[in-house]
Amino acid sequence: MFVEAIESLKGKDCLTLLDYTTDQLVYLLQLAKDVKAKQKAGQIYQPLKGKVLGMIFEKSSTRTRVSFEAGIYQLGGTGLFLSSADLQLGRGEPIGDTAKVLSGYLDGIMIRTFQQSDIEELADNATIPVINGLTDDFHPCQVLADLQTIEEVKGKLQGLKIAYIGDGNNMAHSLMIGAAKMGMDFSTAAPEGYLPKQAIVDRAKEIADANQVTITITTDPIEAIKNADIVYTDVWASMGQESEQKKREALFASYQVNPALLKHAKPDYMFMHCLPAHRGEEVTADIIDGDQSYVFQEAENRLHAQKALMIALMAD
């Protein structure tokens, strides 16, 4: 299985987890586990020696930038930070032209941007792997790290239930897809008008049906969180939505992850959040800073999961 997955991933893009098979995801998670073990043991492991990753940022970042830059360095390569203000993209150069030029200089591109269509256009014109560091619709790298963390804590993925409480954003979309592909039940709750995009839900449900798991979309947070093994949330207003902050605070008030809501999850639930978090808004401080919170283990695993991804896509 792994031999086929290894060969099929070489040179492949990572735009959304919809593009990856379950076997490919299983391989990436095993590779992330191995890479993490090597680092913890102090082993030098540099399969990307001499490789260069270009990192385009049109959205600000802490975890994405540091984990990719540190990761490519630890693997023996070099990361180039490229803000949109520094590139001709910021002055109107076509995305396709930028992709073709960068393909001649680099071994891979990671981009963190707004429109999913922009990253798809970049990938269509590039001859090197393109990695989605975040768009408004998807955040596949975060979910790879999430799956790695769940497996570390729970010892398995298949048969577990993830409940995502909050805005039906890129995290809701990618978690839903990742859960369906790994044989996990998924539920999400948000106010009407803030639920995940129906087209993405429909695709995820096709995968879930094939893997005999369920996807539940509801406006009732208690229904969503019932018997959940993993409880996940995100900020109510993402980047670019700051003007909606007050409106969203009112709409999402009953969706806060707090002790009262968590009484409906399994007693041994694990709490997760992609960060940054707003304590007192989407989650109370006692939960995110409590014993059942794994948010910093999850954040660290961004490094290891993305190193695995870069190795799989970029190594010779």
Give me Rg for the CA atoms of the chain.
19
Task: For residue 204, give both structure tokens.
Answer: 């995820």
- 18 among the known binding-site residues? no
d(CA 195, CA 209): 20
- 141 among the known binding-site residues? yes
User: Could you tell me where the beta strands, DSSP code E, fall in the chain?
Assistant: 52-57, 78-83, 108-112, 130-134, 161-165, 185-189, 215-218, 230-233, 270-273
- 196 among the known binding-site residues? no
d(CA 22, CA 180): 9
Residue 61 burial (CB count, 10 A): 15
- 14 among the known binding-site residues? no
CA atoms within 13 A on the CB side of 213: 23
- 91 among the known binding-site residues? no
- What is the DSSP track for 243-276? GGHHHHHHHTGGG-B-HHHHTTS-TT-EEEE-S-
- CA angle at 157 for the pair 190 and 299, rounded to the nearest 5°: 65
Residue 293 burial (CB count, 10 A): 19
- 112 among the known binding-site residues? yes
The secondary structure of residue 283, as a DSSP letter, is: B
List active site positions: 112, 139, 142, 234, 274, 302
d(CA 9, CA 217): 32
- 302 among the known binding-site residues? yes
Would you tell me the crossing angle of helices 22-40 and 170-181 to the nearest 10 degrees? Answer: 100
- 170 among the known binding-site residues? yes
- 239 among the known binding-site residues? yes
- 275 among the known binding-site residues? yes
- 88 among the known binding-site residues? yes
- 203 among the known binding-site residues? no
Classify 36 as helix, strand or coil. Answer: helix
- 149 among the known binding-site residues? no
Specify binding-site residues for L-ornithine: 170, 234, 238-239
Specify binding-site residues for carbamoyl phosphate: 61-64, 88, 112, 139-142, 274-275, 302
Specify binding-site residues: 61-64, 88, 112, 139-142, 170, 234, 238-239, 274-275, 302
